[in-house]
A and B are shown apart, each in its own frame.
Chain A
Amino acid sequence: MNITIILFILLAVLLIGALVWAIRPPRRKLLSINDVLTALSEEHHYSRLPQILQALQPEDTAFLRDRGLAPLRRRIRSQRGRIALLYLDCLQEEYEKLLEASRVVAAMSPELIALDEAERFKLNLRFALGCRYLRWKLRLGLEPWGGFGLLSQMASGMALRLEGATSQIGERTAWSLEFSSILKERNNGTR
């Protein structure tokens, strides 16, 4: 059988499949401009990470085993696993909101920065895959946090990054005001 012919047919079938997927009504709710501003100014979950990581450390509950309370330790660990899943839900929700906000802003921009958009697309893929993988690991009771000995180092690394981000985010209020006034002006102009 000719490989060229098979490739062509396969591509066409894949394209029909992609078409069916692409024309499905979108599940996500489109954000308004106000939602974009809210998404940018909302409190985020970064600050909870050290506690979550700490709670997931096996050493954190090791003393229960030493005292002969293994069943209690298991229950606590399972509860902490559920909390980690909830945290992951929040993380994903925040991520999706930010991504949606970026799309709203992109739709309003006179010219897009292709690199920024490509990076967002790449980040989105990575996050979606990573999130799914981690969720399954947590559900199956596996321990994705095997190397938590580096916890403090990680937390400090995150703190540094957060500091950088916060300094950028600090300008947000000014932009939001500017943004709102532009929209207001435009709305008045179109009326």
Chain B
Amino acid sequence: MSETLNLRNVEWALTTITELILLVYLLRRGLFRSHPVFSAYILAVILQSVLMAATYGIWSSQSHRAWLIFWLSQLVVETARFAAVVEVARRILSPFSGIWALGRRVLLMTAGSVLVYAALLSREYWFKLPLNVDRGVGLAVATVIVTLLLFARYFGLPMDHLDRSLCIGFCLYSSFCVINDSLYDKWLVGYLNFWNFLGVLTFLASLFLWIGAARAYSEAAPARAPVVVPQELYEKFSSELNVRLRLLNEQLNKFLNPGSQR
């Protein structure tokens, strides 16, 4: 490799080392059992770094082959990232079967709509397909994470520190990916290195966040064994609560629109 050791290479090396540290933590703490997809995602990212180092060593980083290998490997990494997010969502929501049943439909619909939306917005730029896919997946991942967190907040669901950190890391990284891809698309074509630098920097920040959470992870976390009530009881409570909430809303309406009484 004839390239000089520039800032980008240092950053790249630092990121790979950080990924390896995270992988070691995942293995040593036994987190690969509770988070197998996330562990596979980190492994995929490391393998991609190795593959790209080898590719750039054999062919030039500007070659068509290198470009193709990068985007194909990126497709695998994107899929793994999405799967890791689904795993986190399942971990947070699935102990509550009712919420999980509703939540997974909402999350699936959210992800689908965002992907369609991103595809529609990018349809005129099909020649930039990889970049658009990257941006679309980034937007979908960030939206799913935010929806998941709002869902968990609305229902007051417990969430351990690791899952919370995974959510924050994924969302921040994905959002910055969307911004980076958009800026690159429009203004930074001539600043490829700078664009890469920003992308890797945000990923590095997420890695540090995840390492911190993996280090602090405790096996003695409280077991999630929520109480389950019969469906009929939920239906009764649910309808009664809605009647009561509607009545309170009507009271408020009487202050606001006293003339609208039916």
- Is the pair A113, B235 in contact by a Cβ cutoff of 8 Å? yes
B226 sits at the interface (CB 8 A): yes
Q: Which residues of chain A from 16 to 59 have any CB-CB distance to chain B below 8 Å in the complex?
A: 16, 18-19, 22-23, 26, 28, 30, 33, 36, 40, 44-46, 49, 53
- Could you say which of B69-77, B95-103, B191-199 contacts chain A? B95-103
- Is the pair B236, A175 in contact by a Cβ cutoff of 8 Å? yes
Q: Give, as a whole number of angstroms, the nearest-CB distance from A140 to chain B.
A: 14
- Is the pair B178, A9 in contact by a Cβ cutoff of 8 Å? yes
User: Pick the contact of A123 from B143, B149, B249 — CB < 8 Å?
Assistant: B249
- What separation, in Å, do the CA atoms of A148 and B121 have in the docked complex? 51
- What separation, in Å, do the CA atoms of A5 and B242 have in the docked complex? 42
A74 sits at the interface (CB 8 A): no
- What separation, in Å, do the CA atoms of A146 and B135 have in the docked complex? 52
B126 sits at the interface (CB 8 A): no
B237 sits at the interface (CB 8 A): yes
A76 sits at the interface (CB 8 A): no
Interface centre among A16, A40, A49, A124 (most CB of B within 10 A): A16
Give chain B residues whose Cβ lies under 8 Å from the Cβ of A107: 96, 98-99, 155-157, 226
B253 sits at the interface (CB 8 A): yes
A62 sits at the interface (CB 8 A): no
A132-154 interface code vs B (CB 8 A; 1 in, 0 out)? 01100000000011111011011
Give chain A residues whose Cβ lies under 8 Å from the Cβ of B157: 107
Given A12-B178, A150-B259, A178-B233: A108 and B227 within 8 A (CB)?
yes
- Is the pair A182, B261 in contact by a Cβ cutoff of 8 Å? no
Give chain A residues whose Cβ lies under 8 Å from the Cβ of B237: 36, 40, 101-102, 105, 175, 179
- Is the pair B255, A4 in contact by a Cβ cutoff of 8 Å? no
B218 sits at the interface (CB 8 A): no
User: Pick the contact of B233 from A9, A91, A119, A179 — CB < 8 Å?
Assistant: A179
Given A46-B251, A94-B248: A165 and B156 within 8 A (CB)?
no
A15 sits at the interface (CB 8 A): yes
Give chain A residues whose Cβ lies under 8 Å from the Cβ of B254: 49, 53, 154, 158
Give chain A residues whose Cβ lies under 8 Å from the Cβ of B96: 106-108
Number of interface residues, chain A, beta carbon within 8 A = 88
- Could you say which of B4-12, B55-63, B167-175 contacts chain A? B167-175
Give chain B residues whose Cβ lies under 8 Å from the Cβ of A111: 97-98, 101, 231, 234
- What separation, in Å, do the CA atoms of A44 and B244 have in the docked complex? 10
- What separation, in Å, do the CA atoms of A56 and B150 have in the docked complex? 39
- What separation, in Å, do the CA atoms of A100 and B251 have in the docked complex? 19
- Is the pair A144, B245 in contact by a Cβ cutoff of 8 Å? no
Give chain B residues whose Cβ lies under 8 Å from the Cβ of A106: 96, 98-99, 155, 234, 238
- Is the pair B253, A130 in contact by a Cβ cutoff of 8 Å? yes
- Chain B interface size, as a band, is 35 or more
- What separation, in Å, do the CA atoms of A101 and B153 have in the docked complex? 14
Give chain B residues whose Cβ lies under 8 Å from the Cβ of A49: 251, 254
Q: Give, as a whole number of angstroms, the nearest-CB distance from A111 to chain B.
A: 5
B176 sits at the interface (CB 8 A): yes
- Is the pair A12, B175 in contact by a Cβ cutoff of 8 Å? yes
Give chain A residues whose Cβ lies under 8 Å from the Cβ of B171: 15-16, 19
- What separation, in Å, do the CA atoms of A5 and B135 have in the docked complex? 11
User: Pick the contact of A5 from B186, B240, B241 — CB < 8 Å?
Assistant: B186
- Please give me the residue from chain A that is nearest to B135 by CB atom: A8
Q: Which residues of A contact B (CB under 8 A)?
A: 1-2, 4-5, 7-9, 11-13, 15-16, 18-19, 22-23, 26, 28, 30, 33, 36, 40, 44-46, 49, 53, 84, 88, 91, 94-95, 98-114, 116-117, 119-121, 123-124, 126-127, 130-131, 133-134, 144-148, 150-151, 153-154, 157-158, 161-162, 164-165, 168-169, 171-172, 175, 178-179, 182-183, 186, 190
15 other contacts beyond A16-B171, A110-B234, A131-B252, with CB at 8 A cut-off? A13-B175, A19-B172, A102-B237, A102-B245, A104-B156, A105-B238, A107-B155, A108-B98, A113-B238, A127-B248, A147-B257, A148-B258, A150-B258, A154-B258, A179-B237
